[in-house]
Amino acid sequence: MKKYMNEELIKIMISFLLFLVSLFFDNQVKILFLVLSYILVSYEMYIEAFKSIREHEFFNEVTLMILATLGAFYIGKYEEAIMVMLLYQLGEYLSDVAVKKSKNSISELMDLRVDTVHLLKNKKSVKVKMKEVKEGDIFQVLPGERVALDGVIIDGVSLVDTSSITGEAIPKKVRVGDMIISGFVNKDSVLTVRSTCTYQTTTTSKILNLIENAEDKKSTTEKFITKFSKVYTPVVVSLALLITIVPTLFGKELEEYLYKGLVFLVTSCPCALVLSVPLGYFCGMGVASHNGAIIKGSYLIDKLCDVDYLLLDKTGTITKGVFEVRKVVAFDRKEEELCRIVASAEEYSIHPIAVAIKEKNKLELKKVENYKELEGLGISCTIDKKEVFIGNKKLLNEHNITYNEIEEVGTVVYVAINHTFTGYIVISDKIKEFHKSMNPLEKVIKKEIVILSGDNKKTTKEVATAIGISSYYGELLPQDKVSKVLEYKEKGNVMFIGDGINDAPVIKISDIGVSMGNFGSDAAIEASDIVLMNDNVNTIGKIIQISRETKKRVKQSIIFALSIKFLIMILSLFGIASIWTAVFADVGVTLISIFYVLTIMWKKY
């Protein structure tokens, strides 16, 4: 692509130099340089025109440009003919540069996902590009890494964060024989996995293909311009012929009215619309990708301008799915001493709740004896010759320990020492840092922001209150979420943002479905219209602003182009406009329109 861009620019520059050289000569030498300049800058357009004619497409902006410039040559307006072609090609070049920049933004964004794998070769781990991994290859996933490819675990036991797939905040233990999905995050131990897919079948490749081949997903404005051009071009060619031929039937000079017809023809060329409208939308998509969101088709730019309701999943979307200690309560000792006992007991546990407690309390640990991890209950051990139980209320019931049931938002860890209820610790999911305020979204969503969660109502309420959202629903099954979305769709345009497989049906039925691309499930990404590669919900605020700016500038460029063109076309009928005026009305207006829509890329949002 870079080579192509350089060749195009060199061709335009050489053609322009030949045009400048011609100005220093007269007669035949001047005409020779002008003809060479014209051939160099226009031969590809002739090839394109012949291909169009072969496909029975006789009227488009290319054939119109050729007719206009050939007519200009016929009446001796060589400089004007060449300038029309030069400026048109310059506009095409600038358009290509902008599209290339937008595509690069999208490609760079996709690079935020996993692109390297620890491949096992001859029992040695080698870091290779994901493109090199074939189905059946064996690779390792280190602690803290995101799983790059779907596969089956052949060695290792670990906890994995599945919140992006299942919507569950609590990680699950995986072992040999279990399937592991791309998007899972390995928490604590090395896993060896046999791949069941390749780089070509990953979501990254699919999304890029969706963007670059979204011909059936054009905006309504683009579709209108395409239809408009197909009708408009043959009409103006016919009018130009009438302007030229009809007066000559009444004895008028052919050259005078041929000139008027050419002015009309050059002015009427729809280049400004054909180039600037799709370019504007593609620039909007490129700016969106640079700001962290992939939009799967320009038609969504129009939809994004009118979002009435934003519905949000909670776990993995607003929250991290990572636990933190919220509260420590001790009845018969200091809180620090209770934390020391709990941290000591949890030292050998890899459960995420245990990890949260240990991270919270960087204290000198006590000696632990008789350690037992009781699945689904908690742990028991001996510390300072005292029997310690740490876990849920089922653990205390199991050992007939009397306690007061604690009503707190989050997970309550009960602590009993020597069969006496001694205190408790409250653990809760962390809200993502950039979600602590929904102000950026509230400014652009027309009516309401709502949380839809499968978590309990108390936890959902707490998260909603923490981020300043007044509307929320908890304890919803996937089918309940679908019902809620359908209910809101009856009242206006609905956008839903989610990250797990359980969110895929809701994403699909929404007017605009949004998924988390960095840690979201492939099912959700496939179902969605927009993918947030930075997993920041507030990015949607920027994307809506970008969409509104894009639509506004595209509409303004259309009004500007048509206004100038119709004015000059009317003036040409009265012989007031010259062919140089027509050059401005065509390629000048085209360049101005292109530069104007390009400013979408330069504005800060």
Inter-CA distances, 511 with 496, 530, 590, Å: 8, 11, 34
No. of H helices and E strands in the chain?
Answer: 21, 22
pLDDT at 414: 93
pLDDT confidence band for 273 (50 / 70 / 90):
confident
Active-site option among 137, 302, 313, 499: 313
pLDDT at 460: 84
pLDDT at 209: 56
Inter-CA distances, 176 with 68, 133, 467, Å: 72, 21, 40
pLDDT at 205: 53
pLDDT at 387: 94
Burial of 605 (0-12, 13-18, 19+ CB in 10 A): middle
pLDDT at 492: 92
Quick one: CATH architecture of 287-319+432-544?
3-Layer(aba) Sandwich (3.40)
Q: At residue 192, what are phi and psi to the nearest 5 degrees?
A: -110, 125
Mean pLDDT value across residues 27-33: 88
Tokens of 266: 């050059």
330 contacts 338 by C-beta, under 8 angstroms: yes
70 contacts 42 by C-beta, under 8 angstroms: no
Q: Which residues fall within 8 angstroms of residue 303, CB to CB, at 6 or more apart?
A: 493, 511, 512, 529
| pLDDT tens for each residue of 361-408 | 666 788 889 988 887 788 899 998 999 999 888 899 999 999 988 887
262 contacts 573 by C-beta, under 8 angstroms: no
pLDDT at 169: 54
pLDDT at 351: 64
Distance between CA atoms of 560 and 315, rounded to whole angstroms?
47
Greater pLDDT, 329 or 56: 329
| pLDDT tens for each residue of 298-349 | 888 999 999 999 999 887 788 876 677 888 899 988 888 888 888 888 877 7
pLDDT confidence band for 501 (50 / 70 / 90):
low
Greater pLDDT, 455 or 384: 384
Beta bridge partners, 329, equal 424
Confidence (pTM): 0.66
49 contacts 63 by C-beta, under 8 angstroms: yes
| pLDDT tens for each residue of 120-176 | 888 788 888 877 888 889 999 988 888 888 888 999 999 887 654 444 556 778 888
Q: Taking the domains of the chain in order of start, what are their residue ranges?
A: 2-108+209-286+545-602, 116-206, 287-319+432-544, 320-431
Mean pLDDT value across residues 438-447: 83
CA-closest candidate to residue 167, choices 425, 435, 427, 429: 429
pLDDT at 109: 47
pLDDT at 238: 84
Pick the range with the lowest mean pLDDT from 98-107, 208-217, 245-254, 315-324: 208-217
Inform me whether the pLDDT recorded for 543 exceeds 50. Answer: yes
Q: Tell me what the pLDDT averaged over the chain comes to.
A: 81
pLDDT at 214: 47
Sign of the Cα torsion 518, 522, 523, 527 reads positive
- Say whether domain 320-431 belongs to CATH 1.20.58.340: no
Inform me whether the pLDDT recorded for 485 exceeds 60. Answer: yes
pLDDT at 112: 42
Inform me whether the pLDDT recorded for 551 exceeds 60. Answer: yes
pLDDT confidence band for 185 (50 / 70 / 90):
confident
> 10 Å Cβ neighbour count for 363?
15
- Say whether domain 116-206 belongs to CATH 2.70.150.10: yes
Mean pLDDT value across residues 585-596: 82
pLDDT confidence band for 496 (50 / 70 / 90):
very high
- Select the highest-mean-pLDDT range: 56-65, 398-407, 433-442, 454-463: 398-407
Inform me whether the pLDDT recorded for 478 exceeds 60. Answer: yes
Inform me whether the pLDDT recorded for 279 exceeds 60. Answer: yes
pLDDT at 1: 46
The per-residue DSSP string of 269-314 comes to -THHHHHHHHHHHHHHHHHHHHTTEEES-THHHHHHTT--EEEE--
313 is catalytic: yes
- Select the highest-mean-pLDDT range: 32-46, 205-219, 284-298: 32-46
| pLDDT tens for each residue of 218-268 | 667 767 777 777 787 788 888 888 888 888 888 788 878 888 888 887 787
Coil, strand or helix: which one is 19?
helix
pLDDT at 586: 78
